[in-house]
Structure 1
Amino acid sequence: MAEDRVREASCACGQLKIRLRGEPEYVSSCACQQCQRRTGSPYGVTAFFLAEQVVSHAGEAAQFRRTAESGNDLTFRFCPNCGSTVWWEPHGRPGRICVAWGAFADPEFPPPQRLIWTDHKPAWVGAPPGAPEFPRGPTPR
């Protein structure tokens, strides 16, 4: 059963981990300049989970808090050893945990359902087939 599945995301060195039960609420790609800088790629991919889906987290996490272009604050949890961002709290969406898609290292993990902040994307980047694109942030879920 999908609700019983526990997924684990971790940093590159494996020191920092988070385990979550069930499927993500949704998955989103973001091409804003802050996500580009955070990931070192043309966009970040985020899996949104409800906070109640967190089973556990382990390891030492460093924190970085910033204000997004939307005006909402985000607190990122990343590994102090390897620097990988694993999860963050979107303060504008209480009760949710965002997890870096790549931290699951699972090619079967659900794909993004949209691409946001396309005003900042390179011309060669696009959303998955059928997924909408938004020049800025989307309408809140």
Structure 2
Amino acid sequence: MLRTEISRPPLPAIPIEGGCHCGAVRYRITARPKAVNACHCDDCKRLSGATFGVYLHVPKDALAVTSGTFDVFRRTGGSGHTIPIERCRACGTRMWHLPEAAPDLVILCAGTLDDASWAVPTSHIFTEEAARDAVAANDALVIEAFNSTRQALWAHFDQIYST
């Protein structure tokens, strides 16, 4: 994976807002995210239609859905755990994952933020499956297989965005 020096943008003020492509689903994040993570696994490539997915790890009780209805797609992750994925019922935008292995966590798709310009990944996982031209910031945690823990991703995010 290529590395580059970046000027990392600051975290936005809370609340952070977002929604789906058609505007039917709207949400508000009421607490600081735990991580901004890029996943390069083949599943995330297919689900995003891109070479990787970018996600915010958000405490479930900090996600306030203000409008919209969802269809739920359930997939089995590499861990064997079921991962419900909620999509806007009107336009199909993938909004977030609700991992059953972590019931207090939402894995929110960064592309649904009203302003995603600040969401530069602080960690990259499954980089052994990354596209040849994939790039990570010099200060990002890069993990080949996800043989770490979410807490390690969160600790690195906190290190970058020390309070």
Using structure 1 for the length normalisation, give the TM-score.
0.89
Q: Which position in structure 2 is the counterpart of 1:87?
A: 96
Could you tell me how far 1:9 is from its partner in structure 2? 1.9
Residue of structure 2 aligned with 1:110, choices 114, 119, 128:
119
Could you tell me how far 1:138 is from its partner in structure 2? 4.3
Unpaired runs of 5+ residues, structure 1, are: none
Are the counterparts in 2 of residues 9 and 86 from structure 1 also a CA contact under 8 Å? no
Residue of structure 1 aligned with 2:128, choices 113, 119, 141:
119
Are the counterparts in 1 of residues 17 and 114 from structure 2 also a CA contact under 8 Å? no
Which moves more between the two structures, 82-91 or 27-36?
Answer: 82-91
Question: What's the C-alpha RMSD, in Å, of the aligned pairs?
Answer: 1.9
Residue of structure 2 aligned with 1:100, choices 104, 109, 130:
109
Offset from partner CA, 1:58-106 (integer Å, 9 cap, x none): 2111100111112222111101332210112011222011110010031
Q: How many residues align?
A: 140
SS at match of 2:111: helix
SS at match of 2:75: strand
SS at match of 1:127: strand
Offset from partner CA, 1:24-43 (integer Å, 9 cap, x none): 01110001111001111000
Which moves more between the two structures, 36-45 or 52-61?
Answer: 52-61
CA distance in 1, matches of 2:116, 2:85: 24
Which moves more between the two structures, 104-113 or 57-66?
Answer: 104-113
Could you tell me how far 1:22 is from its partner in structure 2? 2.3
Are the counterparts in 2 of residues 17 and 86 from structure 1 also a CA contact under 8 Å? no
Q: Which position in structure 2 is the counterpart of 1:6?
A: 15
CA distance in 2, matches of 1:43, 1:26: 16
Q: Which position in structure 2 is the counterpart of 1:52?
A: 61
- CA 1:138–1:103: 2 relative to 1, 3 Å: farther
Q: Which position in structure 2 is the counterpart of 1:132?
A: 141
